[in-house]
Chain A
Amino acid sequence: MAKALLIGLDGATFTTLEPLMDSGAMPFLRSFARGGVRSILRSVVPPLTPPAWTSLTTGKHPGGHGVFDFFQKESPESRTLRFTTSHDVRTSTIWSLASEQGRTITALNYPLMFPAPKVNGRVVPGGWMPWRQLRLGCHPPGLFDRLKALPAFNPRELSHDMALEEKALEGCAEEDHADWITLHTRRERRWADVLSHLMTEEPADLTAVLFDGVDKLQHLCWRFLDPALRDESPTPWEAEVSRLCESYFRQLDEILSALVERAGSETTVVMASDHGFGPTYDIVYLNTWLEEQGFLAWSGDQGIRPDANREVGISQIARHVFELDWERTVAYAATPSSQGIHIARRTSDNPFGVTDESYPEVRARLVDALRDFRHPQTGRPVVAEVHTREQVFPGRFVDYGPDLTVFLNDDAVVSILRSDRVIKRRAHAVGTHRPEGVFLASGPGLRKGVEISEISIVDVAPLLLHTLELAVPDDMDGRVPVEAFEPEALRDRPPLTTTATNASLVGSPSSPEETPYDAEDEAIVLKRLAALGYLE
């Protein structure tokens, strides 16, 4: 039976991979790219880990799968956000579709896999799975104890340890960089060792692993990775950080080589990223701008120090709900990651919100104001594009998306904090997400040594289903990228389409109506965003 190996490289971009391949730091990836097919992989809006990986595994854009951010609105009109979980993936996934049709899967370290979907195979969740509770996220029962016997299976380093992440990132002290980079180097080796064990002892038809150190390093160390930004005369510390970053990628290359060799030549190997990366300098304090424009009001002195009371973290629940004056707030940015603006709607909980009748006028006025938003120093437009949710999130779950999504000029990032200035500039570039990710693939029937035109992240799920000799549901937004295949391979086995049922969502434990705890089970945890560098 046909087999596939999906290797996720979170945030990988050819901007950094290409020089590493050319310099000899990633010789395996270079030969893999030359021996297979490669292209830019266009991410979704917003190019963010939870919606993007969900799009890759569902073949649908966010409006079709229901995941927009690290956090979800409890209802379309809700002001309260909660932590996004696997229950929010409200459509079939490659995991569920393969399972339903008798294929076995192994999925390691993918986000939004907690609670673990009841797939035909093994799941160790990734994303924001705290290491102390990794046992709770493993499927099937007994897998955690089986893996615990492995030397590589160290939950503290495999999963997230908030203490380590905060130590490394909150202050971004020079001395923390080395620990951060080497932690992720060890983490990738651990995941690879666990996967190698499962590939040998419990092989699956669809095997998948996600390496997320690429994203973590690029957020913090972009200026050491981007050849265009490298200092010609680095300080000893800068030289050491550059060396450690290169070492990470050298070791990642070794890992990729070993996994692909273990998979064997009859296995189709797909490497893909959820989004690309690039430098950013400017921070746009969107809520401060909304305040200046009369769309938002803070409640008293709130909003000055959102992290002022972090020792427990549970005080962060729905923090913006407590910090805004809802009698005078019309629109607000709830998270920095979504690049979105929400309009406060009139509900039983918010009698001051915008009525259905006023909504079109208020939204249009906000769009006009965003288009008129000018940089205080340069006078240039700050907002490159502004889109309504109907434009960027068409689909069943459109109402759960932000009312407006903005793309900022100069690759500026959004902050939701209160600030004395609307725009601030960093001294050094850091990394931020870009829509251009990577796609590399090799295996039976795929072309060799070609670069094809850009494909979409929603095309990966159809490609994997076709590889597994399964039909592609007709409700997927993506398509099998036939240009990646040899013509004779397509003649022998053309892609098949089937009517989507979504009747049994093995990969998503329940439909929205059946979700047993869809509204009250999680809390907003902005602390985690801060640790990842999303919260400015």
Chain B
Amino acid sequence: MIAKDQVRAELIELLTKLAGDWDYEGEITPGTRLLRDLALESLGLVVLGTAIQDKYGRLPFTDFLAEIGQRPPAERDVTIQELVDFVCRNCSPVAAGGPS
């Protein structure tokens, strides 16, 4: 399994770079929420998921989104840490570090 610290660092770096493009002023941390904090919407999540899979290989991202979609509205969000956990849980060592 790929190291969680590495994935966390890479995803925070990626989202920090993206957030810089829309002048987000907060700090990107493991607790940053993709929807409420970064204001991503559904299409944005899909695109982010595609980019993450470009880097880490095929992941069951649709199932991940579907699971979140079933949560009560107040809890319907994803933190970066949850994303890290998801990637590490499903990422094969071969795919990790693949094309970026």
A residues engaging B (CB < 8 A)? Answer: 80, 82-83, 85, 114-115, 128-137, 144, 148, 155-156, 160, 162-163, 309, 311-318, 516-517, 519-523, 525, 527-528
Contact = CB atoms under 8 A, between A and B. Distances in A.
B72 to A, nearest CB: 11
30 contacts: A83-B43, A114-B47, A114-B50, A115-B51, A128-B43, A132-B40, A132-B44, A133-B51, A136-B18, A136-B51, A137-B47, A155-B21, A162-B41, A162-B43, A312-B35, A312-B42, A314-B42, A314-B65, A314-B69, A315-B69, A516-B53, A516-B57, A516-B95, A517-B58, A519-B62, A520-B60, A521-B53, A521-B58, A523-B66, A525-B43
B76 interface: yes
Contact of B73 (A144, A311, A317): A311
Contact of A317 (B50, B58, B66): B66
By Cβ-Cβ distance, the 3 closest A-B pairs, closest first, are A313-B42, A315-B69, A517-B58
B76 A314 contact: yes
B27 interface: no
Contact of B22 (A83, A156, A521): A156
Nearest to A133: B47
A456 to B, nearest CB: 31
Interface residues of B, number: 37
Given A132-B44, A133-B18, A311-B73, A82 B50 contact: no
A128 B22 CA distance: 18
Contacts of A135: 17-18, 21
B63 interface: yes
Given A132-B21, A136-B47, 7 more contacts: A132-B18, A313-B41, A313-B45, A317-B69, A318-B66, A522-B46, A523-B66
Given A314-B65, A314-B69, A521-B61, A133 B48 contact: yes
In this complex, the member of A135, A144, A309 whose beta carbon has the largest number of chain B beta carbons within 10 angstroms is A135
Contacts of B73: 309, 311-312
Nearest to B66: A317
A130 B53 contact: no
A144 B20 CA distance: 13
Interface string B20-48: 01100000000000010011111111111
A184 B51 CA distance: 28
B59 interface: yes
B9 interface: no
Contacts of A309: 73
Nearest to A155: B21
Contact of A527 (B40, B42, B77): B42
A536 B62 CA distance: 25
A250 B53 CA distance: 43
Contacts of B22: 131-132, 155-156
A517 B59 contact: yes
A312 B69 contact: yes
A136 B46 CA distance: 12
Contact of B43 (A80, A155, A528): A528
Contacts of A134: 21
B61 A522 contact: yes
Contacts of A128: 43
B1 interface: no
Contact of B59 (A160, A521, A528): A521
A82 B60 CA distance: 12
Given A162-B41, A312-B69, A314-B68, A517 B47 contact: no
B82 interface: no
